[in-house]
Amino acid sequence: SYVLTQPPSVSVAPGQTARITCGGNNIGSKSVHWYQQQPGQAPVLVVYDDSDRPSGIPERFSGSNSGHTATLTISRVEAGDGADYYCQVWDSSSDHYVFGTGTKVTVL
């Protein structure tokens, strides 16, 4: 089965840039989506199709995808960006959605 690997945690100071990676075999050939989950809340879609943002999501959230790694970048990090982040793909070989292992972003 397809596996997506994320770092368990990322720490960043306010105003700096956070980068969250999502590793998967040839992930660059898939469309990657990213979700933010605040404590006790449902996930929210923040980036889809590698780099597109849903309406209402700040431009500070951006994404890229190439080779075996997709990356979610949060620029000018704010305290409210502290949350868990998950990448997601559709694995057409198994007809399954797959979520990454999740990354906890801590704003120092």
Point out which residues bind other proteins (CB under 8 A). 1, 33, 35, 37, 41-45, 48-49, 54, 84, 86, 88, 90, 92, 95-102
Closest to other proteins by CB, 16 or 92:
92
Closest to other proteins by CB, 49 or 78:
49
Kindly state the tokens that stand for 8: 């368990």
Short-list 1, 70, 85, CA closest to 32 = 70
Cβ of residue 15: shortest distance to other proteins, in angstroms?
28
For residues 46 and 61, the answer to whether their CB atoms sit within 8 Å is yes
- Rounded to whole angstroms, the Cα distance separating 102 from 84 reads 6
Short-list 11, 23, 10, CA closest to 100 = 23
Closest to other proteins by CB, 36 or 77:
36
Cβ of residue 42: shortest distance to other proteins, in angstroms?
4
